[in-house]
Amino acid sequence: MTDQSPKRLFIKTYGCQMNVYDSQRMAEALGAEGYVETDRADDADMVLLNTCHIREKAAEKLYSDLGRLKPLKAERPDLKIGVAGCVAQAEGDEIIRRMPLVDLVVGPQAYHRLPAMARGEAPAVDTEFPAEDKFDHLPERRATRRHPAAFLTVQEGCDKFCAFCVVPYTRGAEVSRPAARILSEARDLVARGVREITLLGQNVNGWHGEGAAGLGELIRQLAGIEGLDRIRYTTSHPNDMADDLIAAHRDLPQLMPYLHLPVQSGSDRVLKAMNRKHTRDDYLRLVDRIRAARPDILLTSDFIAGFPGETDADHADTLRLIEEVGFGTAFSFKYSPRPGTPAAGRALVPEAVADARLHEMQALLARQQKAVQEGMVGRTLGVLFEKPGRLPGQMVGKSDYLHSVFVQAPEAAVGDLVQVRIVASAPNSLEGVLA
């Protein structure tokens, strides 16, 4: 007797938004094989861990999670366990050697081969950078869950080689998808009820695909799609903020007033050691130009504390840069040496010093975040409802500036884009009333 019931797939996603997007596309690819998603590992037929290699802690999380799956695999040996994403790319079959319970290892450029791997018709380890484009071999986007905001990968990989970063090795060289493909995927998403699209790329503003001169022009083309109300993009490198992209922020109401622009450090010495190829002053002048084009833009950033060689004076420079710019929010991390990167062998800043610097940076950034959020109180902003809140009649959505906003709106539906007057600020969200 053959079992006709659908196979269940549990995906856990670590790390960045591109992994979130990749997980959706892998679910779609396996969907064509009869897999349906479940939110529990213990009743799944396949468990897929879509991993992140950016910092050591993120990578180690995979091994502790795999350890936790051991009893499940012992109970049900036919359970398939797959490792995808950047740890898969970096460690390949080493993962199976260390954790024999793993059946499949698939890198970020090979996941269109996942269905064949799952059927046992392709090698169990695939970390190639194949010549074919995985996007050409994936099934059409499907509406897995009704959600009015979607991610769309337009560019992958990075050619910048910052001294701390594994991305150029795990995601490979920069590759941009052609504009026509991106536009057709965007139209498809909009036809399914999507109103907001975030364009994704490790170095998204370095997009240089066919059919447009750069990301600015690509965004202009996307802005012509009827029903696409909001466009965002992430993550950008300061050196690739072209004039046309800055002008798009001035010209296009669909392009949201929000920009994630990592700077990593405010010290020229450290920026040089990081191979960032821009100075503190380059960044500050760029911020001025962006704000001249779109005065209300909310800037966010990434910072690393305790990069090898960083002194107290360098750290003070970073704090001063944060003060000067004023960020809406920012991610800050303690430096984590990554195997294979240029900075990996350099002498570390003592752990306690790096910890203290990280805390100081985070405290300052938290004060800025609080001030920015409090500054929203009294303003009327667009909010796109993404899901019902916990309280009866409550909806939760994102403001133009990407803050989560809770609103009493019993008549409203997910996908409504409404005007909301902000009445209060909580630590990580805002509260508003329908305007």
List the binding residues: 16, 52, 86, 158, 162, 165
Closest CA to 309 of 338, 272, 284, 355: 272
Query: What whole-number distance in Å separates Cα of residue 84 and Cα of residue 51?
Result: 6
Question: Nearest 5°: CA angle at 11, between 6 and 15?
Answer: 165
**Closest distance of CB 202 from ligand SF4, Å:** 5
Q: Does 357 bind ligand 5AD (CB under 6 A)?
A: no
Q: Which of 26, 69, 106, 165 binds ligand 5AD (CB under 6 A)?
A: 165
Strand partners, 419: 382
Residue count (the chain): 435
CA distance 422 to 420: 6
Cβ proximity of 333 and 304 under 8 Å: yes
User: Please, which residue, 174 or 229, has the CB nearer to ligand SF4?
Assistant: 174
385 DSSP 8-state letter: E
Span near ligand 5AD by CB under 6 A; candidates 34-42, 72-80, 331-339, 365-373: 331-339
- Select the span of 57-65, 114-122, 155-163, 327-335 touching ligand SF4 (CB under 6 A): 155-163
Tell me which of ligand SF4, ligand 5AD, none is bound by residue 160, counting a contact when its beta carbon lies within the kind-specific cut-off of 5 to 8 angstroms. ligand SF4
Binding residue for ligand SF4 (CB under 6 A) from 161, 312, 374, 380? 161
The count of residues interacting with ligand SF4 (CB under 6 A) is 10
In the bound state with ligand 5AD, the residue whose beta carbon lies nearer, of 294 and 334, is 334
In 3D space, the residue among 190, 238, 247, 176 whose CA is nearest the CA of residue 217 turns out to be 247
335 counts as binding ligand 5AD under rule CB under 6 A? yes
Tell which residue, 184, 131, 130, has the closest CA to residue 154.
184
Binding mask 38-57 for ligand 5AD (x = CB under 6 A): ----------------xx--
Residue 335 buriedness (CB in 10 A; 0-12 / 13-18 / 19+): buried
For ligand 5AD, the nearest residue by Cβ is 302
**Which of ligand 5AD, ligand SF4, none does residue 269 bind (CB under 5 to 8 Å by kind)?**
none
Which runs of E-coded beta strand occur in 59-193? 80-84, 104-106, 125-126, 149-153, 155-156, 175-176
Q: Which two tokens stand for residue 67?
A: 């350890």
List 85, 168, 201, 397, residue binding ligand SF4 (CB under 6 A): 168
**Would you say 154 and 209 are in contact if contact means Cβ atoms under 8 Å apart?**
yes
Q: How far is the CB of 427 from ligand 5AD (least distance, A)?
A: 22
275 versus 404: smaller Cβ distance to ligand SF4: 275
Site for ligand SF4 in 193-212 (CB under 6 A): 202-203
Written as six digits, the tokens of 226 are: 């009827």
Task: Residue 336: name its binding partner from ligand 5AD, ligand SF4, none (Cβ under 5 to 8 Å by kind).
Answer: ligand 5AD
**Pair 35, 46: CB distance under 8 Å:** yes
Structure tokens at 325: 């710019």
Residue 418 interacts with which of ligand 5AD, ligand SF4, none, CB < 5 to 8 Å by class: none
Interface residue list for ligand SF4 (CB under 6 A): 158, 160-162, 165, 167-168, 202-203, 237
